[in-house]
Amino acid sequence: MFKALVVEKDAETGKTSAAVKQIGVEDLPAGEVLVAVDYSTVNYKDGLCVGPGGGLVRNYPHVPGIDFAGVVEESSDARYKPGDKVVLTGWRVGEAHWGGYAQKARVKADWLVPLPEGLDTRQAMAVGTAGFTAMLAVMALEDHGLTPEKGEVLVTGAAGGVGSVATAILAKLGYQVAGVTGRPETEDYLKGLGATRIVAREELAETVKRPLEAETWAGCVDAVGGAMLARVLGQMKYGGSVAAVGLAGGAGLPATVVPFLLRGVNLLGIDSVMQPYDNRVRAWARIARDLPMDKLEAMVQPATLEDLPQLGADILKGQVKGRVVVDVN
Ligand code: NDP
């Protein structure tokens, strides 16, 4: 038997509740690889899945946790053997499939990535889906021509998970990074990660009044979406790109097409869930190389399985700073 955070749904009221329980290996879903989980983390989607489900969870009882890192215990797939260190993000694990909020997880071999040289399982979850996605966003901006000489790069939702990792990576790569935050008290934290300018959320909160504003940003990693993304599009420099990662501020996009037509601005969609294997390996290798581990450590807030119901509620309110690392053992 081992520990897992199990979410159950009351058949009469339809309400869900989450609690740490003992379950057995035979309870786990089918899969080729059994992993002894070391660490998991807390993402916005985890907040939804630990709580009411947000339409993401198909069946109850459910074990959430959209990402984890650990050590292979059993494998019927030739690519993995006992003792291999692995990381998993995406593929709807923790939503449609049981996830990482347990001491063991059984998953498809195709969903795993070998841990890159230079990262341990705790660091891999300090990065987690948020940091992995931040790396994908930076790679997409680079693939569209962004270099440090082009000018300042904006990171929205900067004190959150995606934003914190994006800020640290961009600063390490030599970019001038402006971080947008609604929490002025995080200024020292963001400057410690390498941000050179702090932009107050209110400055970008208003909806678009003029389709084009002063050309300010050479690139942007956007975790917020909504009205803020619309404003940022109108502030991009000629030919600049925005990597659209998240919707912490809303799923709508009250924008005009003018920045695309008159300034050749690019809006790049970033999806971490169905990302092909080769690009996953490329992104994890880049993380091991381009994310300073001391900066990563400064983002970490440690937690246990028992803390997850509260942390799930906190992240839905935008109240988690940096990256939570959940020690499931
Ligand atoms: P966090 O909650 O850690 O960070 C989000 C940050 O956005 C907050 O910390 C806050 O930053 C800011 N924010 C929150 N609410 C608002 C608001 N109403 N208006 C403006 N800013 C706001 O989440 P993550 O960093 O883990 O994820 C960020 C987003 O990216 C989420 O929407 C998530 O679902 C999405 N995501 C998408 C992925 C993909 O594959 N495309 C993968 C991973 C995440 P501050 O306090 O600094 O203002």
Model pLDDT, residue 307: 97
Model pLDDT, residue 54: 82
Is the CB of 47 within 6 Å of ligand 1? Answer: no
Residue 138 sits in the same domain as residue 70: no
Is the CB of 161 within 6 Å of ligand 1? Answer: yes
Q: Does 275 fall in a domain?
A: no
Model pLDDT, residue 89: 98
Q: Which long-range contacts (CB under 8 A, 24 or more apart) does 50-53 make?
A: 50/5, 50/7, 50/18, 50/101, 50/308, 50/309, 50/312, 51/16, 51/18, 51/312, 51/313, 51/316, 52/15, 52/16, 53/7, 53/9, 53/16
- Locate the ligand 1 atom nearest the alpha carbon of residue 245 and give its number: 41
Q: Does 277 fall in a domain?
A: no
Residue 182 sits in the same domain as residue 215: yes
Q: What is the ipTM of this complex?
A: 0.99
Q: Which domain holds residue 58?
A: 2-115+298-327
Domain count for the chain, please give it: 2
The rounded Å distance from CA 162 to ligand 1 centre is 7
User: Residue 161 is part of a domain; what is its CATH number?
Assistant: 3.40.50.720
The rounded Å distance from CA 246 to ligand 1 centre is 6
Residue 142 sits in the same domain as residue 163: yes
Q: Does 9 fall in a domain?
A: yes
Is the CB of 241 within 6 Å of ligand 1? Answer: no
Written as tens digits, the pLDDT of the chain (329 aa) is 999 999 999 999 999 999 999 999 999 999 999 999 999 999 999 999 999 888 899 899 999 999 999 999 999 999 999 999 999 999 999 999 999 999 999 999 999 999 999 999 999 999 999 999 999 999 999 999 999 999 999 999 999 999 999 999 999 999 999 999 999 999 999 999 999 999 999 999 888 889 999 999 999 999 999 999 999 999 999 999 999 999 999 999 999 999 999 999 999 999 999 999 999 999 999 999 999 999 999 899 999 999 999 999 999 998 898 899 999 99
pTM of the shown model:
0.96
Residue 259 sits in the same domain as residue 133: yes
Q: Does 293 fall in a domain?
A: no
Is the CB of 43 within 6 Å of ligand 1? Answer: yes
Q: Tell me the best of 41, 180, 201, 202 to mutate to test the pocket of ligand 1, counting ligand atoms within 8 Å of each CB and taking the most.
A: 201
Model pLDDT, residue 55: 85
Q: Give me the sign of the Cα torsion angle 291, 308, 243, 275.
A: positive
Residue 250 sits in the same domain as residue 225: yes
Is the CB of 283 within 6 Å of ligand 1? Answer: no
